[in-house]
Chain A
Amino acid sequence: MKEFKILAVLVALVGITYYGIEPYAHSVMHPEVAAADFTFKDLKNVDTKLVGNAANGKVLVETNCVSCHGIEKAGNPAPMPAADAAAAYGVTPPDLSHAGRIYDKNYLANFIYDPVSAMHLNHKYPVGGAKQFPMPPFPLPAQDIMDMVAYLQSIAPKVADDKAGHKATFEAACGRCHNMKYASIEATTPTDSLKTYMGATPPDLSQHIKSRGEHYLHSFVNDPQVLLKGTSMPRVGLNEKAQEEVIAYMEEVGDSKKAERETIGLYVMIYTFIFAILAYLWKRKIWSEVH
């Protein structure tokens, strides 16, 4: 019994210290922030209750968007090579094939209406400022915008819920600016243009699942300004499913041995437990001769 008392004191001292330097210190250094908002309820320029007409949307998209944006899945290649587009606009404009799938409907509609306010980049592109965001606002009637959204949703390809599918989402959502060295993914915008456009080279995301962790990414990707006020990274506007796919891909690349680790971990612990029991029985036998 005395040994259990000693053990209890030891566990208490170690436990209190652990609590202080891990959970408690982390809560001080990284305070909780507002929960991720996948409805983007701050955006109210477009009435998203209107039902869109994809056929009309197709006409509007082809009139308004394809001079800058490619839509590979609808047979519209990018109007110019990525590097030339980056030189012209600062950053390579995204291909819109996946736009209807990965972006939240409300976000996408409001983005077309006014990109800067949707991205939370008013600090970088203030109204009347010298710098202009390369894509102009399209303050069209709400019905037109919803038609365009309906069209983009109708052409977006389905992707499988596997690594290849997650990769497609990652490339559509992050691949214009971020490298992912450990998956041999290079940003489609050349580094020099990116550095000028963003003010700094966006980080390689190979290890962000470890350095930032899922909890941080969940909030950060949803709205970078919440955790990193003033950053030039835009709010991308991913819906919850697309964001989960992006984070899943970051884990598949950055922590590729997770499944192996957890399986082997279980086996090792079972093995060690059996060893501990045998060792206890042996100890009992040996010490019975001396006590």
Chain B
Amino acid sequence: MAEFKPADSMYEWFDQRLGIDKFVKVMMTEYWIPKNINFLWAMGVLLTVMFTLLLVSGIFLLMYYKPDVNMAFDSVNYTIMQEVGYGWLFRHIHAVGASVVFLIIYIHMFTGIYYGSYKKGREMIWISGMLLFMLFSAEGFSGYMLPWGQMSYWAAYVITEIFGGIPLIGGDLVIWIRGNFYVADATLTRFFMLHVLLIPVAILGAIVFHFYSLRFPHVNNEEGEFFDFDEEATKYLEGDKKGSKVVPFWPVFLSKDFFVLGFFLLFFFYLVFFHYDFAMDPINFDKADGLKTPAHIYPEWYFLWSYEVLRGWFFEIAGVSGKDLGLMAFGFANAIFLVLPWLDRSPMVKPANQRPYFKYWFWLLIADLMVLTEFGKLPPTGPNAWVGFGASLMFLVLFIALPFITKAEAKKVEGK
């Protein structure tokens, strides 16, 4: 055992036992971030703050929420919204936060794609990030069921029904997921468990893993430049702060993040207090009724693009039903982002606009996702159905074409 000399201060006492000095250096003051970055690099900290807000507001909601089909709706809309002091505030923060967190996730994700921050050593950052995206999706979906409104019920019905399309086990799987032949009390209580225990625990673990995966390959920068972080760090520590290409996480990087966070929170709280309908669908203020189908069923906005990929296939092709084709496309869409680092065959790590072919691919993808999102909400009738089909097909084509496009790009770049 190490020799401990009596501590002169409380700080020293803790430092001897917990290595506070060292820990702060490793985590904060000597954790190096590239200097050449813009405000898009603040999305990670924004997401951490959003997750904290969701966690804290969720804990308060959990104290009054009742996971029972007869009590859930009133426990949310009467007890929490009207009786509990500031219960409405926690619910608004939670509901609007759940929606806004996806906006930031998408910005974070497409920043990564735009700047090529998923390749050449950064594959695990991308994979752990996509894992978080999937966990957040599951968390969002399970949470949306809890208020037990009409859209809670029917979205749960439609989405669980999707699993019925899986060959052989589909029918049994749907019953297994629902815990009943239809969406019922058993479904609500198990999604409650998933929402407040299993998925949050998994998310916490995945966040730690995501942060850890950044340590070795380091954060990318605005030009995709590779440099020796140790060398630049030494430069910084020796006093050449202006010449060094890196800055410490604390206080330099975070000071910029707090500034971005301040203006982001202004936007967020505006939504929370004054403009929340987009995240709290009016239809969900009608209690769930399994005998009364709403005129329009649609998921929350952040699932619309993949919902439209599913729905776009509305006719039979070569003996395969539209439903099955949609299901295959849906499975493809949800898995394909995970392997993006291996679909991009070009070695260039540059902002998309500096890459000769990739730039077209990137902006086409953004446009396609916007079209999918828009038509995922509109009723799928007449020309809408065909636009949906075209956009869904386009999505598949874009990803199938990506390896060829980037291979060609690699060739072109090499030739120069």
Contact = CB atoms under 8 A, between A and B. Distances in A.
A256 B81 CA distance: 9
A187 B336 CA distance: 55
A125 interface: no
Contacts of A10: 107
Given A20-B370, A212-B282, A257-B88, A268 B269 contact: yes
Nearest to A275: B262
A130 interface: no
A211 B282 contact: yes
B274 A265 contact: yes
A84 B273 CA distance: 48
B241 A290 contact: yes
B24 interface: no
B62 interface: no
A8 interface: no
Contact of B252 (A3, A260, A290): A290
Q: Which of A16, A277, A280 has the most chain B CB atoms closer than 10 A to its own CB?
A: A280
Contacts of A42: none
Interface stretch (A22-30, A59-67, A75-83, A103-111): A22-30
A276 interface: yes
A276 B266 contact: yes
Given A6-B38, A6-B40, A286-B255, A256 B82 contact: yes
A232 interface: no
A20 B262 contact: no
A207 interface: yes
Given A265-B274, A289-B241, A275 B282 contact: no
B78 interface: yes
A6 B373 CA distance: 22
A290 B273 contact: no
B350 interface: no
A213 interface: yes
A202 B379 CA distance: 28
Given A265-B273, A269-B273, A210 B262 contact: no
A24 B377 CA distance: 10
B39 A273 contact: no
Contacts of B78: 181-182, 206
A277 B261 CA distance: 11
Contacts of A269: 266, 269-270, 273
B258 A279 contact: yes
A34 interface: no
Contact of A290 (B242, B266, B304): B242
B273 A286 contact: no
A264 B89 contact: yes
Interface of B: 35, 38-40, 74, 77-78, 81-82, 88-89, 92, 103, 107, 241-242, 244, 247, 251-252, 255-256, 258-259, 261-263, 265-266, 269-270, 272-274, 277-278, 282-286, 295-296, 301, 304, 366, 370, 373-374, 377-379
Given A206-B78, A265-B274, A279-B258, 16 more contacts: A2-B38, A3-B38, A16-B370, A20-B374, A21-B301, A25-B374, A28-B378, A207-B286, A210-B285, A265-B273, A269-B270, A272-B262, A276-B262, A277-B262, A290-B241, A290-B247
25 contacts: A13-B366, A14-B103, A17-B373, A21-B377, A24-B374, A28-B378, A207-B286, A211-B282, A211-B284, A211-B285, A260-B88, A261-B88, A261-B89, A264-B273, A268-B269, A269-B269, A269-B270, A273-B262, A279-B258, A279-B261, A282-B255, A282-B258, A283-B256, A286-B251, A290-B35
Task: Please name the 7 residue pairs, one residue from A and one from B, whose CB atoms are nearest each other, closest first.
Answer: A265-B273, A276-B262, A20-B374, A211-B285, A210-B285, A283-B259, A286-B255
